[in-house]
Structure 1
Amino acid sequence: MARVGAELRRQDFVKATVKVIAEHGVANATTRRIAAAADCPLASLHYVFHTKDDLFYAVYESLFELPQQALAHVPAGTTAAETVAEMLRQLVAWLAANPDLARAQSELFLWTLRNNPEMASKIYSVAIETTEQAIGRSVGARLDKAALKAASRLLIHLFDGLLIAWSTHRDPERLKVETETACQALSLLIASH
């Protein structure tokens, strides 16, 4: 039997954890259930991830990168407001295409906020910084630092709100209308700078 490298095993556990969280929630994402979903021995899970917090942080990092990849492919609009609004549209398109992943990400963040506020603060800071960088790459010098920070925070807040709404109603037409309203709000903020 061939040995599986630690990095490959790590990826298996991250994927299995996302699946378990999407199906059973964070509270029921036991290491035993995760190891079974990865079709690996429980001891391997504990070897690769020393604590459940380490595993959950790795999962959150992997989930956070997925919607951020959508931001990398946004074409620049004629104005900074149009560009950033399109970034939100792309994130929502990712959400609609990956509702289980988005819900698992949200649920994991809320669990972390309750159980490890310091880690939640770190995760939120990384989200803000990464979003600021993505917006900065797309709009260049068209936004000053204060506007860039305000736009990235509002974009994250709007996305999180749309995620909650979408998880509740699952109506694609309603999501489209709500997204356009959110894009207008984001555009108005940017235009005011």
Structure 2
Amino acid sequence: MARVGAELRRQDFVEATVKVIAEHGVANATTRRIAAAAGCPLASLHYVFHTKDDLLYAVYESLFNLPHQALTNVPAGTTAAETTAEMLRQLVTWFSTNPDIAKAQTELFFWAMRNNPEMATRIYAVAIEATEQAMEKAIGTQFDKAFLKATSRLLVHLVDGLIIAWSAHGDLARLEAETETACEAVALLVASR
């Protein structure tokens, strides 16, 4: 039997955790269930991740980085308002095409708020910072830092709200319509500056 490297095993556990959380929720995502979903011994999971919180944070980091890759699809050469709206559209589109990841990320964040507020605060800070960096890269430095940070927060709030609403109503056409309304609002805000 060939040995699997710790980094590959780590990724297997992260992917299995996403599936388990999407199907059973964080509260029922036991390490035993995660190890079984990864097809690995439980001892391997505990070797790679010393605590369940370490595993859950690694999952969140992994989940957070994936949708931000969608921001590379934002077209260049548009106005700052159009670019910001397109960033929102791309993020929501990414989540809607990856519903298990959307569900797992939402579940994980709400779990962290109840059980590990410090982790929730850290997770949210990372989301805001990454969104701000993506915005700055996409639209340049034409806005002051305070406006950029506030707009980044707004994008994160809108994505979260739209995805949570979609989880409740399950209507993709409605999600797309609501996303367009949010994109128009963000574009108007940015254009007003």
TM-score normalised by L of structure 2: 0.97
Name the structure 1 match of 2:156: 156
Q: Indicate the residue corresponding to 2:192 in structure 1.
A: 192
In the alignment, does 2:175 pair up with 1:175?
yes
Q: Which amino acid aligns with 1:68?
A: H
Residues 132 and 148 of structure 1 are in contact (CA less than 8 Å); yes or no, is this contact kept in structure 2?
A: yes
How far off is 1:72 after superposition?
Answer: 2.1
Name 1:139's counterpart in structure 2. Answer: 139
**What's 1:46 paired with?**
46
CA RMSD of aligned residues (A): 1.0
Q: Distance in 1 between matches of 2:100 and 2:113?
A: 20
**Distance apart, 1:77 and its partner CA:** 4.8
Query: 1:86 — aligned with what?
Result: 86
Distance in 2, Cα, partners of 1:68 & 1:86:
13
Spell out, residue by residue over 1:113-166, the C-alpha distance to the aligned partner (whole angstroms, 9 max, x if none): 111111111111110000000000000022221221111000000000100111
Partner of 2:6: 6
In structure 1, what residue type is equivalent to 2:118? E
Q: Which moved more, 1:113-122 or 1:29-38?
A: 113-122
Q: What letter is aligned with 1:8? A: L
1:78 Cα deviation after fit = 2.7
Structure 1 partner of 2:37:
37
Which residue number in structure 2 is paired with residue 16 of structure 1? 16
Distance in 1 (CA, whole Å) between partners of 2:51 and 2:43 is 12
Whole-angstrom distance in 2 between the partners of 1:107 and 1:163: 12
Distance in structure 1 (CA, Å) of the matches to 2:3 and 2:35: 17
Identical positions, percent: 76
Q: Take 2:104 and 2:123, find their aligned partners in 1: how far apart are those partners?
A: 15
Contact 1:70 1:90 in 2 (8 A): yes
List structure 1 segments (4+ residues) > 4 angstroms apart after TM superposition. Answer: none
Indicate the residue corresponding to 2:109 in structure 1.
Answer: 109
Q: Which amino acid aligns with 1:143?
A: F
Q: 1:147, 1:190 within 8 Å by CA — same for their partners in 2?
A: no
